[in-house]
């Protein structure tokens, strides 16, 4: 404990010491960030301006896009700025904020996906009661529940992480404040703190996973009972975008957090972690816009309205 010092800032991992590679890193991250920004803003705008899409499913989709925008904005801009300015530092308070927001937005994201799974279950398994069950008040309560649970979970995670003392230096072997890398710098015994967080995480995340899995088991059973092949295809197609998004988030999360830990960060670790927080926010708008005719129609109408005069629209219709 005599070697303990007060940490005022952390040094993030530099992708490369070669200036050209730093610029390349900035350009790649900028392209990814702009793709996520444009895609999610288009989804939000299309749903907000098209009254035909003011339904529970698209209400949750707006929440998902907002969370995805915040999720990727927490990490990429700071990493791009460091590469552009050839710096590595992030303040202690900035690191705390990054950890809190990252965990909050990612966990709330999963909560919204759980609500969307329940929405699909009610729509397919209880279609006659859909309007009563999925009313405006119920949708708002589910969305607020996802956001609040994310705040509570993130608050516990962040408090547990930064309650420890750092005496292993201030160099984080990652290009953002990643909790596993921060725990490597601890000089106090963090096992008890980690155990509490893990238990809470298991309870919270397991509840969400179980709800999603049970919803889809019931959905598949209901779909298989539909007599016509066309009816089964139509019912399943309404679930396919959501199922794809959930699978993408789960698989990338498993690769990022269940990979074997090592004392030093390898290039594979960097790629896997980057894949986890960059791919879902970019792919989610693409998945929903490609697999959903209503979203495609709304986007097409908005583009035509914005970029073509009214007297020229008939040419394209």
Give mean pLDDT in consecutive 10-residue pieces for the chain, a chain of 317 residues: 63 81 89 92 87 88 92 90 87 92 90 91 88 92 93 86 78 82 72 61 74 87 83 79 80 64 58 77 82 72 62 47
**Structural domain contains residue 90:** yes
Amino acid 143: pLDDT:
95
How many C-beta neighbours within 10 Å does residue 84 have? 15
CATH number for the domain that contains residue 31: 1.20.1070.10
pLDDT at residue 232 in the model: 79
Would you say residue 50 lies in a domain?
A: yes
- Quick check: is 298 in a domain? yes
Closest CA to 28 of 76, 68, 97: 76
Euclidean distance between the first and the last CA atom of the chain, given in angstroms as a whole number: 73
Residue 48 in any domain: the answer is yes
User: Does some domain include residue 3?
Assistant: no
Measured CA to CA in angstroms, residue 84 lies from 36, 69, 77, 290 at distances of: 20, 22, 10, 34
Domain residues for 108?
A: 9-316
Overall number of domains in the chain: 1
Q: What is the pTM of this model?
A: 0.84
Residue 2 placed within a domain? no
Does some domain include residue 45?
yes
Which DSSP string do the residues of the chain spell out, in sequence order? -TT-----EEEPPPS-SSHHHHHHHHHHHHHHHHHHHHHHHHHHHHHHH-GGG-SHHHHHHHHHHHHHHHHHHTTHHHHHHHHHHT--EEEHHHHHHHHHHHHHHHHHHHHHHHHHHHHHHHHHH-GGGHHHHT-HHHHHHHHHHHHHHHHHHHHHHHHHHHTS-B-S-SB-SSSS--HHHHHTTB-S--HHHHHHHHHHHHHHHHHHHHHHHHHHHHHHHHHHT-SSHHHHHHHHHHHHHHHHHHHHHHHHHHHHHSSPP-SS--HHHHHHHHHHHHHHHHHHHHHHHHH-HHHHHHHHHHHHHHHS-HHHHHHH-
């Amino acid at each position: 404990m005599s070697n303990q010092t007060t940490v005022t800032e952390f040094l993030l991992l530099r992708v490369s010491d070669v200036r050209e590679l730093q610029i390349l890193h900035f350009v790649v991250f900028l392209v990814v960030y702009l793709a996520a920004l444009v895609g999610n803003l288009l989804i939000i705008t299309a749903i907000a301006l098209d009254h035909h899409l003011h339904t529970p499913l698209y209400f949750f989709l707006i929440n998902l896009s907002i969370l995805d925008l915040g999720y990727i904005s927490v990490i990429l801009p700071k990493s791009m700025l460091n590469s552009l300015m050839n710096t590595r530092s992030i303040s202690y308070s900035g690191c705390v904020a990054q950890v809190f927001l990252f965990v909050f937005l990612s966990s709330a994201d999963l909560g919204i996906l759980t609500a969307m799974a329940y929405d699909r279950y009610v729509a397919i398994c209880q279609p006659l009661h859909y309007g009563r069950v999925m009313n405006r008040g119920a949708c708002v309560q589910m969305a607020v529940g996802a956001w609040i649970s994310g705040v509570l979970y993130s608050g516990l995670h962040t408090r547990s992480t930064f309650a420890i003392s750092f005496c292993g230096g201030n160099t984080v072997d990652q290009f953002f404040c990643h909790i596993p890398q921060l725990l490597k710098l601890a000089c106090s015994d963090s096992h008890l703190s980690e155990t509490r967080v893990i238990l809470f995480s298991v309870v919270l995340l397991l509840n969400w996973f179980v709800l999603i899995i049970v919803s889809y088991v019931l959905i598949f059973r209901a779909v298989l009972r539909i007599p016509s092949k066309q009816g089964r295809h139509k019912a399943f197609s309404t679930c396919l975008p959501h199922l794809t998004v959930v699978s993408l988030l789960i698989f990338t999360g498993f690769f990022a957090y269940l990979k074997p830990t090592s004392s030093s960060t390898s290039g594979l670790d960097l790629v896997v972690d980057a894949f986890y927080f960059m791919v879902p926010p970019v792919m989610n708008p693409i998945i929903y816009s490609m697999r959903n005719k209503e979203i495609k129609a709304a986007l097409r109408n908005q583009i035509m309205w914005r970029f073509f005069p009214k007297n020229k629209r008939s040419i394209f219709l």
